[in-house]
Amino acid sequence: MTAAREQELAAGLGRVRARIAEACSSAGRAPDEVTLVVVTKFFPASDVRLLRSLGVSDVGENRHQEAEAKAAEVDDASLRWHFIGNLQSNKAADVARYAHAVHSVDRAKLLRGLSRGSEARVEQAGAQPLEVLVQVDLDPEPQAGRGGVRPEGLMELADRVADTEHLSFRGLMAVAPLGEEPAAAFERLAALRADLLAQHPSADRLSAGMSGDLEEAVAIGATHVRVGSAILGGRPSIP
């Protein structure tokens, strides 16, 4: 069982790493400019362990309860957990206790909890402050989006994050909207990022690209791609 699953994961990782390398080469970028975050949501902690043994250092999860349980079960200090999902403000402090980075900050209401959780972790575990990315909604239709602050609210939220104690503001995250070419949406993302960098030069991370569109994201400068199904296989559909 485990040996077969390990082979499956190794093959998926090999294919995705090759795609990243090819996309970097087409874009004239070095492959080490792009971090692969393997999205393990819906898959068991045993898969996370296998991925770790295959050289994966960054994993992504989108639901707090599942992420918290898995991080406790795997308990490998060399793994970095990236929280990439919708976050409730009453859970924000808890997420900061195990997550290395939160990619999905979309409103100022989350900042108090994240700051408190990060402060506790820094004091107790000597960890680095929590890294925060602001998620921006690229959907042309307001309200239709898959989460994120609308572009017109981005700068204000970015300033708030940068001013919050115990948090390290590192950049932007986005998901390509349904029903549009990812490349077109990512062009808008690249423009927003350029504006942001003028104000916040150290917020230079860009989390964009998934199984279906990582090439388009690498082409416009993504530094983190979040890839699940192309490595782990199909997920059961969300009830």
Ligand X SMILES: *Cc1c(COP(=O)(O)O)cnc(C)c1O
Provide the binding-site residues for ligand X, judged by CB under 6 A. Answer: 39, 41, 62, 84-85, 175, 210-212, 226-230
- Nearest distance from residue 229's CB to ligand X, in Å? 3
State the minimum distance, in angstroms, from the CB of residue 210 to ligand X.
4
**Which amino acid is present at 130?**
L
**C-beta separation of 104 from 147 below 8 A:** yes
- For residue 227, the minimal CB distance to ligand X (Å) is 5
Q: How far is CA 232 from the centre of its chain?
A: 17
> Mind spelling out the 3-state secondary structure of 157-184?
HHHHHHCCCCEEEEEEECCCCCCCCHHH
Residue number with CB closer to ligand X (23 or 39): 39
Q: Closer to ligand X at the Cβ: 92 or 227?
A: 227
Bridge partners, residue 224, by sequence = 35, 207
Q: Which two tokens stand for residue 199?
A: 């104000």
Looking at the Cβ atoms of 154 and 166, the one nearer to ligand X is 154
Choice between 67 and 79, CB closer to ligand X: 67
- What's the token pair of residue 127? 């960890």
CB of 87 to ligand X, least distance (A): 12
CB-side neighbour CA atoms (13 Å) of 193: 26
Nearer Cβ to ligand X, position 166 or 182?
Answer: 182
Tell the burial category of 231 from Cβ atoms under 10 Å away from its Cβ (0-12, 13-18, 19+).
buried
Q: How far is CA 190 from CA 46, 141, 193, in A?
A: 36, 19, 5
Which residue of this chain has its Cβ atom nearest to ligand X in the complex?
Answer: 228
CB of 198 to ligand X, least distance (A): 26
Indicate the SS3 state at residue 39.
Answer: strand
How far apart are CB 9 and ligand X at their closest, in Å? 14
Our CB check for ligand X shows the closer of 100 and 226 to be 226
